[in-house]
């Protein structure tokens, strides 16, 4: 009875190992591998570019914030207007409103710039995808 189990186990192992050896012998490649490698390279370049743009935007934001805060502090020192006191002669505005208006405008400019970058990236992605699909189709169907 034990011999039957040993023979059965040996047959099962040999039956399972044949497909595994066949997979080891097959080498990766072909058109899909090339397409995968190209896609991987382009994605890495895109991510690196995006990270660089993000770093630059962050640095610009920090510089503009510091400049705005310094300007606001200087205006407060020179004009003496430090807060908006709610009295009868109080009019809305002052240094804080000016700072908010400047901040709002700079945010609009930054938003438009970001939109332009994203649109260009989207168009580039679309073009690269189409070129890749066309190339793959041309290679597949000579």
- Of 29, 40, 65, the C-alpha closest to 128 is 40
Interval 60-81 mean pLDDT: 84
Residue 1 lies in a domain: no
* Residues of the domain holding 93: 28-140
Among 4-8, 39-43, 54-58, 122-126, the least confident range: 4-8
When divided into structural domains, the chain yields a total of 1
pLDDT digits (tens, 9 = 90+) for 19-32: 555 445 555 677 78
pLDDT at 35: 80
Residues of the chain with pLDDT > 90: what percent? Answer: 2
Angle subtended at Cα 62 by Cα 58 and Cα 68, rounded to the nearest 5 degrees: 140
pTM over 0.75: no
Residue 22 lies in a domain: no
- Residue 15 pLDDT greater than 70, yes or no: no
């Amino acid at each position: 009875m034990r011999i039957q189990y040993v023979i059965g186990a040996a047959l099962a192992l040999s039956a399972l190992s044949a497909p595994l050896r066949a997979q080891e012998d097959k080498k990766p490649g072909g058109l899909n591998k090339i397409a995968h490698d190209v896609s991987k390279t382009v994605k890495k370049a895109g991510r690196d570019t995006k990270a660089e743009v993000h770093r630059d935007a962050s640095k610009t934001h920090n510089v503009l914030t510091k400049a705005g805060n310094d300007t606001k502090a200087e205006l407060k020192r020179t004009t003496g207007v430090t807060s908006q006191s709610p009295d009868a002669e109080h009019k809305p505005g002052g240094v804080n409103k000016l700072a908010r208006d400047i901040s709002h405008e700079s945010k609009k400019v930054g938003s438009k710039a970001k939109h332009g970058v994203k649109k260009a990236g989207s168009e580039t992605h679309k073009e690269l995808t189409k070129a890749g699909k066309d190339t793959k189709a041309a290679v597949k169907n000579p």
